[in-house]
Every structure is written in C-alpha cells, then in structure tokens.
Chain A
C-alpha cells in the first residue's frame, strides 16, 4: 500500500525519482534495451522515409521492365513483380504499420480506459452494463471480429483502423477496470473524496496514474499484436488496398513467387518480425521495470 502512495504523482519530486528508478531498472535489462533501440530505429526510419523517398515515383510506380530482379546494389532488396523497389516499399511500409499500430492503440486505449474507468470507479449497474458489453466483444476472437467489421465496412485504411481498434477496446477496458477497483478503496482516494474532489479529477489525477504500469505494458504489447493483425488482414485481402505498401499485402503478393523469388517474402516478413519483436521486448522490460517487487 505504501508502494502506491510513493507513486502518487501529486508530489513532483518523488515522481521524477520514481521515473528515474523505473528507467534505472529498465536499463539493466539488455534485451529490453535492444528492443527499445530497435523500435526507435524503426520510428526513425518511418519518420525519415518521407525525406528520401518519393511515394509516387519510388514506392508505387511500376517499372515493368525491371521486374523480379534479385537484390543488387541498385535495388537493395530486389524488385517485385511490377518492377517496384522492395526496399522502398518495406521502408514505406514501416510508416504504415507504425501509424496503424499507434493510431489503433490510441483509440482503443482512450475508449477502453474511459469504459474501464467508469465501470471500475462507479461499480454496480454501470459496471455490469459496460462490462457485459465488453464481454460480448471479448467473446469473439479479435481477428474474427476485425474480419467481420472490415467485411461489413469494406477494406481500406480507415476501416481497418476502426476494426482493429474496436477489437481491442475490451482488453483495455478490463485492465483499467481491474486496476481501478484495486485502487479505489484505498485511503488516499477516500481522502480526496473527503476533500470534495470531483469524480473526474479523482479518476484522472489520483487513480489512473497509479494504474499506469499495466496500461503501458498493454499498450506496447497491443501495438505488436495490432501490427501483426493488420498484416494478417492485408494478407487475406481485407486490409489496406493496393498499391499501398503494407507488409502483409506485400507478403501476400510475394506468396505467388515464393518458390522462384523467395527474397520478395523475406524482407517484409523480417520487417514484421523485427517490429513485433521490438515491441514485445519493450513490453517485457517495462513490465519488469514497473513491477514494484523488483525494486532494488
């Protein structure tokens, strides 16, 4: 209980030291640091790809007479069946995948946290109604739900984002709810109530910051599964439409050539693995770093 009290963000001095302590513990985890470095470099690639790549002429323009070339100094990752540079497409795909990951998780996190916080804080009927709705969503496997939503709305970037986000809302709602239930009965909350603090402020200022640990870990892990999920949807033709270079759709296009030009499959495949791996490593590291029992 005292642990939670020390995390109380209303004391800025302690907050900083707490963050420092987390970073200190995180830094000791080599794999987690590797994951972080990997992820940051992916972010860098995504952010800078717009500077050195022109979408219309380098990413989607077809040069049929240069098709299916193996990797060379000119085309580092070779060219695909339409003569497009695979390197440019994989790099641009980083943008798409990270964007999808971040955006989806942001929506899911916001809505999920809202639902979870309301349910957890107020309990009773509100809790019952909200969580039963979440249970309905949870009852369906995330991918199937996403496929159903995309099937109904039609493929396309926005619809895929929505589908993935909706499929992830209940997970966040549950995590946040359980964290809040464990906190809301504690003395400092009662103290805040006694001071006449409004519910919204109690949730935002006193409860959520104390529940941030599991939420952050969930965010990183869900970004990883979202990237995989979108790649999966695109692979089966329900995701982002051609000619946008999404890793999953690149894999799907490369499938036909797998036997004759396997490199077409290797590079987007490796890109997916790296991004998912980096996020998972970060999530693991964060979980350990945030775990109060691991305190040095």
Chain B
C-alpha cells in the first residue's frame, strides 16, 4: 500500500522538479524516489491486510510482485541516461509519468475490487500511450503511439464491458464476494452474463500482456517506441498484467476452471507458436525481442492454465527471471545501437551486434547470459522459470501443451542464439564501445541476478 502513496506524492514532486534549470537532479531524484517506494513496500511484510475501503489487498505475494516491478523500474530508469541528454526531451514529465504508471502497476497486483483493477489498468495504459510517443520527432514512434492508443482503448472498453457483465452476474465488484456467488450459483444455475463477463475481462487483460491472438500491436509498438520504454513495457506491464490475470482467475474464477481453461490453453498455444515461429525470421533485434516477449507471455500462461498451488510462486519467479534478462538485452541494445545511425535512427538489427566480443567483451557477455536466460538454458534463472511453468502445466496433466511448449523452446533456442553468434563469431570493424561505470554496474546487477537465481533458485522461493 505504501508504495502507492509514496509514488503518487513523489510523482508530483518530480513534476515540480522540472522547473529547476538543471536537469541533472532529475535522474538521481527519481532513482531515490523509486528506492524509497521499494523500501516502503516491505513495511507491510508479513502484515497482510485490506486497504482503501477493502479495495486493495496487501500480502506477501503482492509485495513480492510489487518489489519485482519496482526493482525493474529502478534498473530501467538507471539505464535511461542518454534520454536526458536530448535537449528536446522533457524528462521531468516523463519521469513523473513513469512513477504514476508504477502506481497503476502496483494496484494491478493487489486489487480486491474490479474497479481498482480498472483504475490500475487505465493508469498504466494511459501512461504507456504517452511514453510510447515521447520521441515527438520520430514518425514511427508517433505511429506506434497512435496504434497502441487505438487498440489499447478498444481493449479497455471490452474489459470494462466484461466488468459490467460480471457485476450483473455477481452483484458485486468485490472479487472474493464474486467467488462466493459463483460457488453458490452452482445449484441454481449460472447466468450467461458470468461467462460473457469472464471472457471479455480476459480478452481485455490478455491484450495488455500481448498474448496471441491479441498481439498484433506488439511488434510495431515495441519497435517504434524509444527502447527505454519498450523495456518498460515488456517487463513491468507484463508482470503487472500477469499478476492481474492470475489474481482474478485464482480468487474469483477457480470454481469455473472447466469453463475458461480451454480458452486460455488455446491462447497459450497460439502465443507460443505464432511468436516463436515469427521470431525466427526477424532481422531486427528489437522486433525479435518483441516476439520473444509474446512467447514468454505464452510460457507464463502455462502457469495460469496449470493453476496449481505453486502457480503464484512460478509467476513471481518467471516475472523476475524474465525481467532481469530482458532489461539486460535491451540495455545492450541501447548501448550498441547508439553508436550507429541509419537514416537518423539507431540501427537495431541483429547485425549491429557483430563482433561485439571484440568491441566490448563485457557487453557481449551480458548479452550471452541474457539470451541464455531467455532461451531457458541451465545456469541461468530462465531455466528454472521454464521448469516451474512446465511443472504447473504437467500438474494438471496438459501433456499436449507441454509438447508444444518443448518444441517451441527448441525454436526459441534457435533465434536466441543468433545474437550470441553475431556477437562472438562474426567479424566487424566497429569501434570500441565505451560505457559509463554506472551503466556497467546496472547491467552487472541484472546479469549477476540471472546467474544467482540460476544457481540458487530457492533464494526467491524461500521468501514465498
């Protein structure tokens, strides 16, 4: 609960900081604010409770998810150095919006009431629309923002429609109360509003986490947005979205598992197949990562479909493993693509990584670990993430889903190794890339985290 208060206030303070002449203070200030929120988050540790008129739940699980969101936010903001140097940018506004969007994301992890979910989704989405188009002079960024906005508001509309239907069926916005009604209605027969409502709500949320077949916006938006916000979208929005989906399905709709699992399993399979197969032929690294994020949505949906007593642990672990690896990958991309401009825009193809092991061995190593983690290869956190979601799916006996996931993981290995091959085995006379020590430390943290969780996965799980 505290991070919501902290970030709301510090967001406004950040806006006022924008009046200062010097823009140098903004980045440290924002990092400080996020750290503050991160620390205040743990004040409620082991003190579960309901807040804001029973609309928000806080327990250890929501705290961990918020912690992952805030940690990712800290790392991403720390990598955004280059963004401030641009004289046309208005960093104060962007940093403020970032903090507000975190408020939305944290609401999505612990909502107890569908209204709160809607508010959370909207805060997060509207912030993202703005940030996607933040590079005003970039035509593709503008296109991406418009696309994202049109499709996103459409999805939100459907979601709101679903919430209204659910209210009609359950006479309450409270998700615990909805569960009671659903269990009671087993005898009397359930209203059709319930099923329509569940479907619409799921569609709205699955759009946000870019699961197929609601993924069409993803590659364009990810590619058009400034890389720093693409990172933000592919980590924080995804973590929050999954927290929201899992929460509603687990708390409210687990009694009607038989109704929704077919739907979710179809979307899981579609996400896995479409994304992995399409990613193979991408020549742009950024676009490849966009498809990779769709595929990871598929893997995380496996935990949702499994809905075992360990699914929440799996989602927490997977979110963290995936966020760390993704931040590293985008961090490398930002450092490398800055060097090379094509048509006035940074070159984001896989070829830009050629010969990276000579130009900057540190970055090449970071890239290799992050790709190994995304591909789910042992020694890295990604492997255990994959193991947990596979176990969840196996728990429910979804063998065919496992087979598809295994085949698609093999495809995944294929395209995740392309950047590694480019970095280590292709030659290129590119210039040596130098990094600021701070940038190095942040990337070092994400990589160290990936390896540490790969060796000792219990570090995180013992907290649960």
Q: Are A and B genuine complex partners?
A: no
Spell out B's residues near A (CB within 8 Å).
Answer: none
